[in-house]
Amino acid sequence: MADDEIAIEDMLEYSRAQYAGNEVMLQKIKEFGREMRDQEIIRAKMEDHYLTEKHQHAVLKVVHQMLSQLNERQMDIDLPRRTTTGTCNAATVQLEELYEMLNILVGGIETLTSDGQRLTNESLQMQITLSTLKEELSKVKLSIEESNAFLEGYVSYDGTLIWKITNFQEKMIDAQSERQTSIYSPPFYSSPSGYKMRARLYLNGDGNARRTHMSLFFVLMRSLNDPILKFPFNYKVTFCLYDQTSQQRHVIDSFRPDIKSNSFQRPRSDMNIASGIPKFFPLKVIQQEGNPYVRDDAMFIKIMVDFGDIHKTLLPYALSLNPGLPMHIQQAMIKQEAERRTQLRSDGQLQIPQG
């Protein structure tokens, strides 16, 4: 038997001896003992249990009953004391000491109950504060990423952005646990005086795509140049997830803005509502070990606003060009490729069928 169980049994045995012959108190002691045993308190959690409201109410109930019994005994003793004072002094002193001890115990239990309620309230407040701090931490992380991008000269002014997502596994775990369901790319611009934009990526999916696909969205941001720009924004947006191997099997998808959507009107707050492709890429592929899209715990996504309306058949070529080339060189190469294909089609149509 554990030391705590022995202590409980000793206390009950002592109480039964003190109230031998008093059926009412013996019954109360019996009920108290049964309640203590039924709770099956293990030694490791004894201290926590003593602070529970259930335990404190049980002890308080028994103490009040014992005080009531003592008051009755005191009245019984006071009555004959007038004639037998000398013979009752010892019993009276003992009862008074016990009465005082029980009063102290009642005060202590009431204090514990009050402390328990206070601790419960403080715990609730701490949970609320923790939730707020988590939200603030996400904002701080985003602010740091933006500051770092600016300091590193990462801002693009040609309508394209190659977004390197580092610490991929950590960010995926954050998304799956819902600590941070989405991440933002650094802002970029269509020109030095153009539209301000960014991408928003839900690594574990958003809405109906949650837990099945990565969701990738485009976000218009408020900028100082908005008063002279044309809205609604109506240029095709293309996303490309880079295959980092020589196979270059990039994942490419595009969408045209819905000009009736608020997402593409002139921004009235820091960012418009994100819009894009909810089922951009299956999670089962991106989570495979050794997949070509995540290497060295990093992933690359290109966001391209297509002001020249590149034909969809040219997109794989355009996105296979060396990103290290200046944008005007890439645009010239895309134009040359488009002309070459047009010439091939013309030559094919001019051929005279044989026979």
Same domain as 100, residue 10: yes
- Same-domain pairing of 61 and 116: yes
**Residue 300 falls within a domain, yes or no?**
yes
Three-state DSSP state, 162? strand
Supply the CATH number for residue 194's domain: 2.60.210.10
* Domains: count for the chain: 2
Q: Cα–Cα–Cα angle for 296, 302, 306, nearest 5°? A: 170
Is 93 found in the same domain as 33? yes
Residues 144 and 118 in one domain: no
Q: What pTM did the predictor assign? A: 0.57
Query: Residue 295 has what DSSP assignment?
Result: B
Using DSSP's 3-state secondary structure scheme, residue 287 falls into coil
Range of the structural domain that residue 260 is part of:
137-323
Q: What is the pLDDT along the chain (355 residues), one digit of tens a residue?
A: 555 555 556 556 656 666 666 676 667 666 666 666 655 544 445 556 555 666 666 666 666 666 666 666 555 555 555 555 555 566 667 667 777 777 777 777 777 777 778 888 888 888 888 888 887 887 777 677 666 656 555 678 999 999 999 999 999 999 999 999 999 999 999 999 999 999 999 999 999 999 999 999 999 999 999 999 999 999 999 999 999 999 999 999 999 999 999 999 999 999 999 999 999 999 999 999 999 999 999 999 999 998 877 888 888 888 888 888 888 888 889 888 888 888 888 776 655 555 4
Is the residue at 341 inside a domain? no
Bridge pairing between strands 188-189 and 275-282:
unpaired
Q: Is residue 44 located within the same domain as residue 154?
A: no
Q: What is the dihedral of CA 107, 110, 111, 114, to 10 degrees?
A: -160
- Name the DSSP letter for residue 268: S
Cis peptide upstream of residue 326 (ω within 30 degrees of 0)? no
Asked if residue 351 belongs to a domain, the reply is no
**E strands along the chain, which residues?**
160-165, 183-184, 188-189, 196-202, 213-221, 236-241, 251-255, 275-282, 299-306
